[in-house]
Chains A and B, each alone.
Chain A
Amino acid sequence: MTTQRITIDPITRLEGHGKIEIFLDEQGEVKNTYFQVPELRGFEVFCLGRPAEEMPRITNRICGVCPEAHHMAAAKALDDLYKVDPPSAAKKLRELFYSAFYVTDHTTHFYALGGPDFVVGPDAPAAERNILGVIAKVGKEAGLKVINTRKHNHEVIKIIGGRAVHPVAGLPGGMSKAINEEERQFMEKVARDNVEFGLWSLQIFRDIVLANKAYVDLIVGDTYTQQTYYMGLVDQNNKVNFYDGMIRVVDPDGKEFAKYRAQDYTEHIAEHVEPYAYLKYPYLKKIGWKGFTDGKDSGMYACTPLSRLNAADGMATPKAQEAYEEMFKTLGGKPVHHTLATHWARLIELLYAAERMLELATDEEITSPNVRTIPTETPTVGIGTVEAPRGTLTHHYETDENGILTKVNLIVGTTNNFAPITYTIKKAASSLIHAGNVTDGILNMVEMAFRSYDPCFSCATHSLPGQMPLEVVIFGPDGTVVDHREQYTT
């Protein structure tokens, strides 16, 4: 039988190379979709035989988007590997650093990547759906705030991390250096500005997105809704935490399904392999892999800002908690299954990161010189987990008695979401493409489904950021190219 094939290759505004293929039947309805990413070769092999303590410095080179997340996960894996507990000031310093990173990362996503879909409009010309379009709509003030927020938080990251972009300060047992009072004062000021920026960004979301009925209908519509399990790190009160805690999974009804230590991840997570994709699809082992389908019987889970808010009982800071309550109240209670609400959740997380940063920057212990516990144990196995902006990030190392790596396994944020992203694309395409009618606007709306995940395949496939140009190819029923679309961000 003949089918029509549509390819979106790679996808605009996401990190790394991705390719969507949509197969249409003779009636022009969606028959199937495939989502593929290529792979860089040999990262694990590259690491084997090296001293484990190099990992915080090597893994942060995997990608230019979230080197800080890899640095933290690696440092925590080394704590575990050398069985050493960092002093409390070191943990606070790491979390302060990590909060500043979250502010920059979530800011970039909202204003440059996901935000344009809403702020500028989902069917606006591709050339306008970018950060410049956002600036044109919201005003130059927005652009300046974005640039300044990034700049100041990058300075914080540089001071604590010891180097711009690719930090070096995380060591087994803590940090290589403390901060002084002058640096602390600067960080406190940046944190206060961040809180204002977080509140201002949420107001933009209310004014532009929530005040527009068409956007709200889009968010809560069936096209972008899927019922999966949700995962996220939580603190001792089951509140969202990015740096440390237990991994909590809730079912599609919002009930706690599992809560476990990062070190026990292999008891809970297994990986499914498809012949056409390099990435593996993690799923909940105790439910099992049931294919790309949602609901309680499917082991598919999501791990995004929205998932983290679904998986927790609230936010640990007051203003973020208010915003959290507002979101769930507006969208009809917990859990929220509307993928596009992830953009809202991301802004709530941004506000939480800002408030948490302020708490830490004003903590009297934060300038303590006691930031390192020297390891004395013989290393064997170390597993460290943080919440990266794009999902739970786990580094798993095994070494010989000299600390030389014999095994390396990284489960990165986007990997967790590979199955739900694939499912989302299929659902959105099936819902939007009919009778072979494919426009730029429709293709962008298919892309919006997964852009809300802020997917970053660069390190999921152990690749680099921004590897590929972006284009869309559409194939006719006989497999030949009938249309060629480019959806560039510039």
Chain B
Amino acid sequence: MKTLVIGLGNPILSDDGIGIYTARRVQELLPEESPIEVIEVSVGGITLMEHMVGYERVIIIDAMWAPADQAGQVHVFDASNLPETLNTRSTHDADLPTALRIGRELGAKLPEMHHVQIVAITANQVLDFCEELTPAVQAAMPDACTAVFRLLSIPASSVEQETK
């Protein structure tokens, strides 16, 4: 399966950068010969959809806002379960589900909804300009990496060893 891993977020907005940092870590842990591509993206909507064209499966790693006492949890779901989005909803074009619909209706080759998988890390501090993660979110990075590798069907145990 032609697979793309997208680290989504903004590295200058504190915990909003967790998707990007996790993607960088995933890239480091992937074997050199791996056919899986890893990119960083800081936009939503149609532009995000355009990055997915031609792939059979996409894994998006992103921050998901939550109250402070719930920050640092990792959730995995797919785009068919994406009711509304925060940073991926760019109202200057369309939100992610709409963008995927537009792409499909126009004949773009896009992954099925259940093959657009999202690894979301709950985060609270996503509105402050800062280049550091809060401790709870930082601590969730190994689990997020593990979740990505599980989705990629790469034995999690070997990765867990390395990420921890």
* B73 CB–A CB distance under 8 Å: no
A108 and B46 contact, CB distance less than 8 A: yes
Given A41-B127, A464-B13, A456 and B92 contact (CB-CB distance below 8 Å): yes
Q: Which of these binds chain A: B97-105, B112-120, B137-145?
A: B97-105
With A42-B128, A46-B12 as contacts: A132 and B102 at CB distance below 8 Å: yes
B42, B50, B98: the one contacting A130 at CB < 8 Å is: B98
Which of B12, B92, B97 interacts with A490 by CB under 8 Å?
B97
Decide if A465 touches B44 in the complex (CB within 8 Å). Answer: yes
Within 8 A of A (CB), among B42-83: 42-47, 50
A258 to B108 Cα, complex, angstroms = 49
B interface footprint on A118-159 (CB within 8 Å = 1, 0 otherwise): 000000000000111001000010011001001100100000
Q: Is the CB of B41 within 8 A of A165?
A: yes
- Give the complex CA separation of A131 and B102 in angstroms: 8
A-chain residues with CB within 8 Å of residue B127 when the two chains form the complex? 40-41, 463-464, 467
**Main SS class of interface, B:** loop
| A481 CB within 8 Å of chain B | no
Q: How far is the CB of B1 from chain A (nearest CB, A)?
A: 24
From A11-19, A186-194, A206-214, A433-441, the one touching the partner chain is: A11-19
Q: Give Cα A154 to B88, complex, Å.
A: 19
If the complex has contacts A166-B42, A489-B98, are A132 and B93 also in contact, measured as CB distance less than 8 A?
Answer: no
Query: B91 contacts which of A14, A41, A463 (Cβ < 8 Å)?
Result: A14
Which chain A residue lies CB-closest to B98? A490
Once the chains are docked, how many angstroms separate the CA of A470 from the CA of B92? Answer: 13
C-alpha spacing A467/B84, complex, angstroms: 11
Taking A46-B12, A46-B129, A465-B44 as contacts, is the C-beta distance between A140 and B90 under 8 angstroms? no
Question: Known: A463-B127, A468-B86. Contact between A113 and B98, CB under 8 A?
Answer: no
Q: How far is the CB of B74 from chain A (nearest CB, A)?
A: 22
Contacting residues of chain B (1-24) with chain A, CB-CB under 8 angstroms? 10-13, 16
Q: Could you say which of B10, B11, B129 contacts A42, with CB atoms under 8 Å apart?
A: B129
A145 shortest CB reach to chain B, Å: 10
A64-B47, A466-B45 known; A143 and B130 CB under 8 Å?
A: no
B98-A465 in contact (CB<8A): no
A407 to B107, CA, bound (A): 49
B43, B88, B95, B105: the one contacting A165 at CB < 8 Å is B43
Contact A64 B91 (CB under 8 A): no
Contact B90 A131 (CB under 8 A): no
15 contacts between A and B (CB under 8 A): A15-B91, A40-B13, A40-B129, A58-B12, A61-B12, A112-B46, A132-B105, A140-B106, A143-B105, A144-B107, A147-B102, A151-B50, A466-B87, A466-B89, A467-B87
